[in-house]
Each structure stands twice: as structure tokens, then as C-alpha cells.
Amino acid sequence: MTITWLALTAVLAMSAGLVMGITAQAATSVFTVRTSVNVRSGPGTASSLLSTLQEGQVVQARSSASNGWLPILFNNATAYVYASYVTATASTSTPATVGIAGRKTPTVAVNVRSTPSLTATIAATLTKGAPVKVTGRGSGDFTEVTVSGATRWIYTKFLSAATDSSPEVVATATTTAALTLRDTPSFTATSPGDVKAKTVVGLTGAHQGSFSQIVISAKPAWVLTGNLSIATTTTALSLPVATGLRYVTAAVTLRASAAAGSAAIATLAKGAQVQITGITKSGYSQVIYDGKGVWLPSTSLSATKPSVSDLGSTSLNKLLAYGKAAVPVIRDQFPEIKTMYGWRAYSAYSSDHPSGRALDVMIPSYKTNKALGDRVAAYVIAHHKELHVNYIIWRQRSYTMTRGSWVSMANRGSDTANHLDHVHISFLAT
């Protein structure tokens, strides 16, 4: 009887603990992100950057804000966001963002639940050590996961604390030549090193421009697509083979086939570098773009890099050196961008444009294309050192590189004045 009583007491205590834990989490203050905000390890911009949250995401506060910083639950620890960028929410059905997306490992055999509750239907059971995809969101004591394409839940304490956020490998490939690794898919991107010929690497299936994303030594990087040969794959994946590099002599449209009337794929700027496959047809040459063979007029290619001192307009040509250097980079990274402005004689707000230190990247269909502007802004922030950027303005907010965070700006009246239709980039003078 004594043993039975002790066992029952232990079970009740454990159950109570679980219920109390869930209740405590549920009672935690909930905040909704109202504009993109960085998650930092400590309450200050000098603290390391853990992640970036986007508008509409929900977070759980660990306690009240102090000195402008709100402590939140993130990766099973306390992290911080700038309090002015989040709004208290009375209640929400949206799971809170509590970490980064990726893969976690069950530490024991664990049940996968249909909803975040210990009484919910068991949808599946995972064995210990079998990786499972996590979305980065949670509810109470549960972590949201993806199993067989469906959203499910696992009790958080049964998952590894660390999240593997490296890209998932869908195939392996062998490098056919010594290649330079790039941090981003650009010829001008920072290189973390080189990879030797005949090296086996993982492929994520992501391609952009002339580059494909690989995983090497458990880290992602970008390399030239045409120098990869598929080794093994679980999907019907093939890559074109490059026979050399060429330069674009003038702005040109890439086509789906070797004909002027075929579907337009993208527009490349003068001076852009491409890989050729050596295949020609009807006055067109095949080049590699986004992991596929596409076409452009053979007369648009040259083995010699053309002069790009003429950027296509007086306003761009009058930019200072840092601005001029950024124009082809932006064109290369974002072929969707068709219009940019630089120098102008007058500005009501600063001397950056009249002095040739500012670039306006116009977002096409900006009212429905906010995501493109967000990507441009994020790229510039990530590469501000190489681009020599001082600050940017986008959607009535400014981001100064020395400050490291977004700050809202006063309403200036129009969409253009409030920078809703363009990303403003100001460069350092020297």
C-alpha cells in the first residue's frame, strides 16, 4: 500500500508539474511583431544577433521590458527584442515564435500529437535520434513540427535543445574543378574559402543566377552551377555543364528558348558574368541561370569584361565610387529591379543625393511587392561592410549600420517621401 501510495503521489506530482508548466506558459504575455526586428542574445545592439523576426510573428515575453528591451523565450533561453517594435496582444491563436526553423532530434521515443496537448490524438511516434523538422514556433510546453507534410506537435522537453538550421541536402554532387566558395550567390560576394576538384558536396536544390547552394563541412555556401556533376539524388535532378565564362556586353533579356518571342526569364545588366554551355542555335547561346540552360543573343556575349563606367543614366554616372560599385551588384542580385536613381541637384532632407552618396532602388509594383523591398534591404544590411553603406531607409523606417536596428520615421506625406516605393541606400563618403 505504501509503495502504491508513493507511486500514485509521484504520478500526480509529475502531472501537476506538467499542467502548471503549460498553464504558466499560457499565462505568459504575448506580443506581436509590428515590423521586422532583430533577436539578440542580450539587451543591446552590441549583443550577438540570433535571428530576425518579421511583421505578424508572435513571441512570448519572459518578463516586462526594461530600458527599451523586451526579454522573450527563444531557443529554450532568454533573448531580447527592441520593445518599440512589438505590440502587446491580449490573446492569440497563432503559435509563438520560440526559436529558429530547422531540425531537432528526439532524445527519447516520443509521440507526435495533432494539437499541443498531452490529451491530443497521437498522429505518429518517432524513435529516439530520428531528426524531425521544427518550424521555430511553439505553444505552451509544445514545439510545432512537420511530419509527413502535416503540422504536428511534440512535447518540447523530449527534443534536443540545439536546432540544426543548415539547409537540407536533397542530392550529392562532385566538383569538376577547383571552385571558390561564396557566402551569397554573387561573383562579388565574400568567400569563406575554396573547394578542390573532385570533392563530394551536398546540394540543397537552391539555385540563383549562375550559382547553386551546396553544403560542405556542415555549412552552406554557393558555387558556380556549371562545375557540379550530380553524384546521387532522390529526385529527378540534373544540372547543365559549363564550358567557360563570358561577360554580357549590354543589358539583355534571358529567354526560355532560342527565339526573340520566347518567355522572358530575367534581365542581366551590362558587365554581368555568366557561364556558357557551348551550345548555340539560331544566333543564340545557351547560358546557365537558376540551375537551367537559358538563352540570349550570341552578340551579347564577350570574353572580355566591358567597361561599366556608363551605368545607363546621368544620375547613376554622377554617383561617387561606392555608389557606382553598388549599382551592378544590386542589378546582379535582384534582376527584378529595373529602375534606380542616384545623383540629383536638390534634396529636401539631406545632402546625400546632391553629393552623389545615395542610391534609390525602386521597387516595381511596390504596393503588392513589399517582399522584394524587404529582401533588398536585408541584403544591403548583411553586406553593408563590402558596400560601404552608412544607412538605409525603407517603408518609413531608417536603419543606421552603427545603430544596428530599425527606427520609425515621421510621416512625410507621400509614398515616395515615406520610402514605400523604394529602398534608399546612403553610402559612406570615403
The pLDDT value given to residue 392: 97
Q: Do residues 136 and 97 make contact, with C-beta atoms less than 8 angstroms apart?
A: yes
- 422 and 333 within one domain: yes
322-326 long-range contacts (CB < 8 A, ≥24 apart) are 322/357, 322/387, 322/388, 322/427, 322/428, 323/356, 323/357, 323/358, 323/359, 323/425, 323/427, 325/387, 326/359, 326/387, 326/389, 326/425, 326/427
Are 180 and 275 members of one domain?
A: no
pLDDT digits (tens, 9 = 90+) for 125-168: 999 999 999 999 998 899 999 999 899 999 999 999 889 888 88
| Section 226-244 average pLDDT | 85
The CATH number of residue 119's host domain is 2.30.30.40
Per DSSP, the residues of 9-20 read: HHHHHHHHHHHH
Give the pLDDT band (50/70/90) at residue 92: low
* d(C-alpha 132, C-alpha 123), whole Å: 14
Q: Are residues 137 and 58 located together in one domain of the fold?
A: no
Distance, CA of 53 to CA of 34 (rounded, Å): 10
pLDDT digits (tens, 9 = 90+) for 366-409: 999 999 999 999 999 988 888 899 999 999 999 999 888 899 99
The answer on 114 and 217 residing in a single domain is no
Domain membership of residue 238 (yes or no) is no
- For residue 156, the model assigns a pLDDT of 94
Residue that is last in its domain, among 80, 97, 114: 97
Which of the four pLDDT bands, split at 50, 70 and 90, describes residue 2? very low
How far apart CA 172 and CA 95 sit, in angstroms, is 35
Q: Does residue 307 belong to any structural domain of this protein?
A: no
Q: What is d(CA 54, CA 86) in angstroms, rounded to the nearest whole number?
A: 10
* Total of domains in the chain: 5
The answer for residues whose C-beta is within 8 angstroms of residue 122's C-beta and 6 or more apart is: 111, 112, 113, 114
Same domain, 360 and 420: yes
The pLDDT of residue 350: 81
Give percent of the chain above pLDDT 70.
91
Task: Mark which of 54, 81, 97 sits at the end of a domain.
Answer: 97
Residue 333 binned pLDDT confidence (cut-offs 50, 70, 90): confident
For residue 213, the model assigns a pLDDT of 94
H/E stretch holding 181: strand 179-181
**Same domain as 336, residue 416:** yes
Domain-located, residue 65: yes
Q: What are phi and psi of 359, to 5 degrees?
A: -130, 130
Q: Tell me, what's the pLDDT at 142?
A: 94
d(CA 5, CA 14): 14
d(CA 163, CA 328): 36
Q: What is the pLDDT of residues 18-63, one digit of tens each?
A: 333 333 333 458 899 987 788 999 998 888 888 888 888 899 999 9
pLDDT at 12 over 70: no
Same domain (yes/no): 204, 295? no
pLDDT at 215 (0 to 100): 93
Is residue 308 pLDDT above 70, yes or no? no
Q: Do 102 and 143 touch, CB atoms closer than 8 A?
A: no
pLDDT grade, residue 430 (50/70/90)?
low
Is position 163 within any domain?
no
* Residue 16 banded pLDDT, cuts 50, 70, 90: very low
Amino acid present at 160: S
Name 182's bridge partners.
222
CB 225 within 8 A of CB 208: no
- Residue 208 belongs to a domain: yes
Q: Check if the beta carbon of residue 242 is closer than 8 Å to that of residue 227.
A: yes
**pLDDT higher than 80, residue 413:** yes
Q: Tell me 60's DSSP state.
A: E
CA 87, CA 237: separation in Å to the nearest integer? 45
Instruction: Looking at the structure, tell me whether residues 154 and 189 fall in a common domain.
Output: no
Rounded to whole angstroms, how far apart are CA atoms 178 and 196? 4
Burial of residue 386 (number of CB atoms within 10 Å: 0-12, 13-18, 19+): middle
Which residues constitute the domain of residue 251?
A: 244-302
What residues does 30 pair with on adjacent strands? Answer: 60, 89
Which of 97, 124, 144 is where one domain is finished?
Answer: 97
Q: With respect to residue 140, please indicate whether it lies within any of the assigned structural domains.
A: yes
Distance CA(356)–CA(6), nearest Å, equals: 79
Question: Cell digits for 167?
Answer: 539547409
Specify if 418 maps to a domain: yes
The Cα 177–Cα 336 span in angstroms is 31
Q: Are residues 199 and 284 in the same domain?
A: no
Same domain as 79, residue 15: yes
CA–CA distance from 374 to each of 36, 353, 377, 399, 421 (Å)? 9, 22, 5, 12, 11
Q: Is residue 234 scored above 70 in pLDDT?
A: no
Residue 375 and residue 404 in one domain: yes
In a shared domain, residues 293 and 319? no
Whether 291 maps to a domain, the answer reads: yes
Query: How does the average pLDDT of the chain come out, rounded?
Result: 87
